[in-house]
């Protein structure tokens, strides 16, 4: 299987950072290249699904499986997060069982998002500029196709006409293009 969307049912738990209610989890399986600047197959679709889940529907990330983007504000989604962090501090005051990454996803340290060339391909950032994708390989930062608030690295096979801002929603692009080419 190259790609897949797997569903599983999860029951609520009283654990501090667990599911707070019965839920349906979606696990998206994909394979990455060894080269971090090589986009995944269906890169834009996976990014849009991730952003729909995390930001539109306030989904909870899987603590061991997600990309950094999924953890943006995640700790605030747990009603018992403050209790967890107090207990963590009580039993591990020197941070022996912590790392920069765990501190970042728990909201204890900055640096969860790294903005650099290709950062959106690895889930280190949400693209806001084409360089965050792989423009040399034809992937540019664009709005989602369904969730317009999403910003994804999409494969563009042809250049947009100069009169159209390629970052605007498609409906506006079509209207602008027709208005600019009306005789």
Q: Which of 101-115, 131-145, 158-172 has the lowest mean pLDDT?
A: 158-172
Closest CA to 85 of 77, 71, 75: 75
Does the pLDDT of residue 171 top 60, yes or no?
no
DSSP 159: P
The model's pTM is 0.79
Confidence band, pLDDT 50/70/90 cuts, at residue 159: low
As a whole number of angstroms, the distance between CA 130 and CA 123 comes to: 15
Query: Residues 21-56: pLDDT tens digits?
Result: 999 998 887 777 788 888 988 889 989 999 999 999
Better-predicted residue by pLDDT, 171 or 122: 122
**Looking at residue 3, what is its pLDDT?**
64
Confidence band, pLDDT 50/70/90 cuts, at residue 124: very high
**Looking at residue 63, what is its pLDDT?**
85
As a whole number of angstroms, the distance between CA 116 and CA 133 comes to: 9
Averaged confidence pLDDT in the chain: 84
CB atoms under 10 Å from CB of 54, counted, come to 22
């Amino acid at each position: 299987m190259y790609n897949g969307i797997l569903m599983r049912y999860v029951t609520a738990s009283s654990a501090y950072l667990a599911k707070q209610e019965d839920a349906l989890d979606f696990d998206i399986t994909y394979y990455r290249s060894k080269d971090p600047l090589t986009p995944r197959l269906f890169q834009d679709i996976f990014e849009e699904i991730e952003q729909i889940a995390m930001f539109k529907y306030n989904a909870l990330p899987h603590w061991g499986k997600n990309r950094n983007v999924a953890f943006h504000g995640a700790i605030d989604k747990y009603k018992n997060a403050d209790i967890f962090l107090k207990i963590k501090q009580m039993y591990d005051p020197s941070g022996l069982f912590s790392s920069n990454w765990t501190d970042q996803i728990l909201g204890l340290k900055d640096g969860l998002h790294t903005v650099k060339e290709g950062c959106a391909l690895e889930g280190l950032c949400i693209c806001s500029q084409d360089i965050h994708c792989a423009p040399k390989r034809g992937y540019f930062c664009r709005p989602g196709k369904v969730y317009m608030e999403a910003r994804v690295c999409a494969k563009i096979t042809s250049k947009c006409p100069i009169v159209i801002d390629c970052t605007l929603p498609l409906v506006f692009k079509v209207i602008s293009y027709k208005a600019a080419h009306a005789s």
